[in-house]
Chains A and B, each alone.
Chain A
Amino acid sequence: MAGKRSESPSQLRKGVLDLAVLTILARTPTYGGDLLESLAERPGLHITSGTLYPLLTRLRASGLIEATWQESPVGPPRKFYALTTKGRRTHADLIAQWRELSAAMNHLLEEHR
């Protein structure tokens, strides 16, 4: 039981990570390290590179984001990730779903307080 309870927050977070990454990339294309920092600024969304890069690969495989090489002021060129047309549509859909879901959840939680 305790195990199940401790898994729940990470499962919840896992569900919104796609939306979080797509939202950051919708604002501005960026590279993996910067994405990690942006997510780390929001404590609930902090993830490791072991979670982020497979997620980026999955989003690329689904055609939601694309990557472009860009020069880096330090070190080798970086891969910049940006939303594709399909990614922008999916992002808009996800935002709508999130708003609907969070409104419903807030309402439910208020009822049972």
Chain B
Amino acid sequence: MTPIQPSRRPLAPEAERLNVAGLPVEWRPDRESVRLRMFNPEDSRLFVPRLFGAGWDVNLGAVAVRLGLLRPDDTLADLAGYVPQHTATALRVLPWIGAASAVATAARGWRAASRFPTNWDATFRPSSFGPPLLALGIPAVLAVGIALWSTTPRAPALIAKPADPTADDDTPAALDLAHAQRGGLPAATNAPRASEDVAAPPQDPDEPTASTPDDDASVDILRHAIASGTAFAAAAVIAVSVASARAPRKRNPWILAAVGAYPTITAGLTVGALRSALANVRTTLRGQGS
């Protein structure tokens, strides 16, 4: 029986950040170590330096662990290669559904009023207004932009790669490209393909394996989850703005739900993908055992 190994390749150490007046400042949101920071179950800190800009973000991975939804070592890096095909497809499509919802909601509400709320006070009443281009157009463009970002060619981010156990030096396995070419990894390169719904077990280490960074299974879970969360949150904000424009003096607590949609959807999709990957690993293990 070939053991199924977690498809991790160790992350490069996090590069130094700028600190301004005690606040961490981040300007490289597409770096793997930065991106994974906002969903890192191994890190027990609830607040981590922001993905982009100054300040801190919530570590949604730590929240998921505290809620008992994941274990601390259920990491994206280890499980990305085992995400089933149908989950990977859904993750790719969702940002576009969110973006389409945002555009459709903005188009439908465009003529509902001449001024739309752009801000709400602590009692959920609209506190400032702007033209539709500002209140509806910008969130819609943001939703489309983030959906586009989610489809840009993938960096070799979550292509996992285990440490070479036979290596004598301390070189991080991530740099050991020869190992990848030998096929001795159960990572994204050996992950489930479109034609199969379970992760393929690691191949014979002596057998060469083609490296396929665009393999359907090596979906960048977090990027698609972030894009989906942002696009659906933008659609929700637009819907709330249109509703508040129709009744500008009324409180609209739905704005809270609209803003909360971003972390909820991002974390929910990531946890869901990881759990489906775990189920996939279990199916494969049972298949090997029978």
Which residues in B have their C-beta under 8 angstroms from that of A69?
Answer: 3-6, 281, 285
Given known contacts A32-B72, A66-B163, A57 and B5 CB-to-CB distance under 8 angstroms = no
Distance in angstroms from A104 CB to nearest chain B CB is 27
Query: A63 on the interface (CB 8 Å rule)?
Result: yes
Question: Residues of B contacting A76 with CB < 8 Å?
Answer: 74, 275, 278-279, 281-282
Residues 1-56 (chain A) with a chain B CB within 8 angstroms: 32-33, 48-50, 52-54, 56
- Cβ of B152 under 8 Å from chain A: no
Q: How far is the CA of A9 from the CA of B279 in the complex (A)?
A: 42
**Is the beta-carbon distance between B43 and A54 smaller than 8 angstroms?**
yes
A27 to B290, CA, bound (A): 28
Contact of B172 among A61, A77, A84 (CB under 8 A): A61
Contacts of B162 in A (CB 8 A): 60, 66-67
Q: Are A86 and B168 in contact (CB under 8 A)?
A: yes
How far is the CB of A17 from the nearest CB of chain B, in Å? 16
Closest to B4 in A: A69
Q: How far is the CB of B275 from chain A (nearest CB, A)?
A: 7
> B89-118: which residues lie under 8 A (CB-CB) from chain A?
none
Interface residue A85 (Cβ < 8 Å from any Cβ of B): yes
Q: Is the CB of A53 within 8 A of B285?
A: no
Give the CA-CA distance A33 to B71 in the complex, in Å: 9
Known: A61-B172, A77-B278. A85 touches B165 (CB 8 A): yes
- With A68-B5, A77-B282 in contact, is A63–B73 under 8 Å at CB? no
Are the CB atoms of B4 and A63 closer together than 8 Å?
no
Q: Which of A56, A57, A66, A86 has the most CB of B within 10 A?
A: A57
Question: How many Å lie between the Cα of A86 and that of B167 in the bound state?
Answer: 7
A33 to B286, CA, bound (A): 22
In the complex, which of the residues A53, A54, A71 contacts B289, with contact meaning CB atoms closer than 8 Å?
A71
In the complex, whether B8 has a CB less than 8 A from a CB of chain A is yes
Interface residues of B in 147-200 (CB under 8 A from A): 162-168, 170, 172-173
Looking across the interface, which residue of chain A has its beta carbon closest to that of B72? A53
Does A102 make an interface contact (CB < 8 A)?
A: no
Contacts of B281 in A (CB 8 A): 69, 76-77
Q: Is the CB of A67 within 8 A of B282?
A: no
Docked Cα-Cα span, A50 to B6, in Å, equals 20
The contact string, 1 if C-beta is below 8 Å from chain A, for chain B 67-100, is 0000111100010000000000000000000000
| A57-110 interface (Cβ within 8 A of B) | 57, 60-63, 66-71, 76-77, 79, 84-87
Q: B285 near A84 (CB under 8 angstroms)?
A: no
Cα distance, A77 to B5, chains bound together (Å) = 11
A residues near B204, Cβ cutoff 8 Å:
none
Q: For the complex, what is the distance from the CA of A76 to the CA of B73, rounded to whole Å?
A: 12
Interface string of B46-66 (1 = CB under 8 A from A): 000000000000000000010
- Chain A residue numbers with a CB within 8 Å of B10 are 57, 60-61
Measured CA separation A77–B168 after assembly (Å):
30
Instruction: Tell me whether A67 and B5 are in contact in the complex, defined as CB-CB below 8 angstroms, given that A60-B10, A86-B167 are known contacts.
Output: yes
Among candidates A49, A61, A67, A70, residue contacting B78 with C-beta atoms closer than 8 Å: A67
Give the chain A neighbours of B74 by CB distance below 8 A.
76
Contact present for B286 and A60 (CB under 8 Å): no
Q: Does B42 contact A (CB under 8 A)?
A: yes
Starting from the known contacts A61-B172, A63-B167, A76-B74, 5 additional A-B residue pairs (CB-CB under 8 Å) come to: A33-B71, A53-B42, A76-B278, A77-B278, A84-B166
20 residue pairs of the A-B complex, CB under 8 angstroms, read: A50-B43, A50-B44, A57-B10, A60-B8, A62-B163, A62-B170, A63-B170, A66-B163, A67-B5, A67-B162, A68-B4, A69-B3, A69-B4, A69-B6, A76-B278, A76-B279, A77-B281, A77-B285, A86-B165, A87-B165
